[in-house]
Amino acid sequence: MTADRTQPEAGSARLDEEQDAYRDALAERLAGFLDDQSAAMARISDDVAPLMGAITGLVTGGKRLRALLCYWGWRGAGGRQLGAEAVQAGAALELFQAAALIHDDIIDRSDIRRGGPSVHRRFGTLHRERGWALDEERFGTAAAILTGDLCLSFSEEAFTAIGPAAAAGTSARRIFNTMRAEVMAGQYLDILEEVAGPSRSRSEAVNAAANVIRYKSAKYSTEHPLGIGGALAGADESLLAAYSRFSLPLGEAFQLRDDVLGVFGDPQTTGKPAGDDLREGKRTVLVAFALERATSEGAALLERSLGQQELGDDDVERLRDVISSSGALDATENLIDGLSERAFEALDALRLPDDIRGALRSLGLSAVQRAA
């Protein structure tokens, strides 16, 4: 008998406690790591403090999805409660995510991140407030490129500090390497679709968008963090493959949810301006479905509007109408449901202690049902 998947399981209070304790240990580890790095930076010059401030700001917030998946992957493979390796790996994943966000926000010209200014905007503001010479925007971008590079280095430094379980030649290291290369390749495919998409046929668009999702997001946000946790605890290839059967469709559903929120989300909840994905010209699965299914006028309007920075709220509203009335929103929601179903079925089939399965289920549900 399959349990009701929307309900928490027995023993979940104890697990919530364990998860909270992990979050605390993770926050402490990140703070300790960044304190040490800030002290080293201060020996170079006090002027570099804003780089550390930007990184610290980014890793202080967030849903911790990747670190938590890593933790439960570790526990599911027999790792001990609050094991240092899993805490350290979580810190590395959070730093990697921060690095990716910093560069992503430059690439996508996003001014807002989690309700506050993105890193390039923070540096732009610093430039203006100090009355510095030359161009504010260029300085902001340059400083954010360097901050992202620094954060990417920190992520790897934190990962290596795990020690022997993540040394050269281990599965955990192999997954970490694959994760980094795939997310960068996936991000490139994403920006490539923005510029090359208009000249491709509409029937290719959904497949192209699905490939972007897999590499840019699903493998990196869910599959690899879970796998790294498992590998650190000694999971064999068969357990890692079973983890992937759960986490890969989950990650795809997670990113599709993100794409829906990027067009239909409430700015108050998402912390990002409404319709930002449309202004940036993101050719998501949602948009690809709409191009395929809308009336020819609707599709033409959408095609013309994608990537236009100056779209106003009214334009965004009109595009939302095109997308919903074409059936693209329903098609995307159906896809999310189907992928979630597959993910949770695979989770049921995983040979795991019930309480750990329950923790992964709650985490999975929060990833695909979220509003922010």
Residues forming the site for its own copies (CB under 8 A)? 37, 40-41, 44-45, 47-48, 51, 99, 103, 106-107, 127, 130-134, 139, 142-143, 145-150, 152-154, 156-157, 160-164, 166-169, 173, 177-178, 180-182, 184-189, 191-192, 194-199, 211, 215, 281, 307
95, 179 in Cβ contact below 8 A?
Answer: no
Task: Compute the 3-state secondary structure of the chain and give helix, strand, coil in percent, each to the nearest 5.
Answer: 80, 0, 20
Residue 69 or residue 179: which is nearer to its own copies going by CB? 179
Smallest distance from the beta carbon of 195 to its own copies, in angstroms?
A: 4
Between 139 and 289, CB nearer to its own copies: 139
Q: In degrees, to the nearest 5, what angle opens at C-alpha 249 toward C-alphas 60 and 16?
A: 45
Give the side-chain half-sphere CA count within 13 A for 281.
Answer: 20
* Residue placing its CB nearer to its own copies in the complex, 23 or 174: 174
CB 274, CB 313: distance < 8 Å: yes
Cβ distance to its own copies smaller for residue 12 or 178: 178
Nearer residue to its own copies within complex by CB, 194 or 348: 194
Judge whether 82 and 113 are in contact, CB under 8 Å. Answer: no
Instruction: Name 105's Cβ contacts closer than 8 Å, sequence gap at least 6.
Output: 113, 118, 119, 120, 144
Radius of gyration, alpha carbons of the chain: 21
The nearest distance, CB 16 to its own copies, in angstroms, is 32
Least CB distance to its own copies at residue 224 (A) = 13
Q: Is 83 helix (H, G, I), strand (E, B) or coil?
A: coil
Q: How far is the CB of 234 from its own copies (least distance, A)?
A: 18
> Cβ 46 to its own copies, closest distance in Å?
11
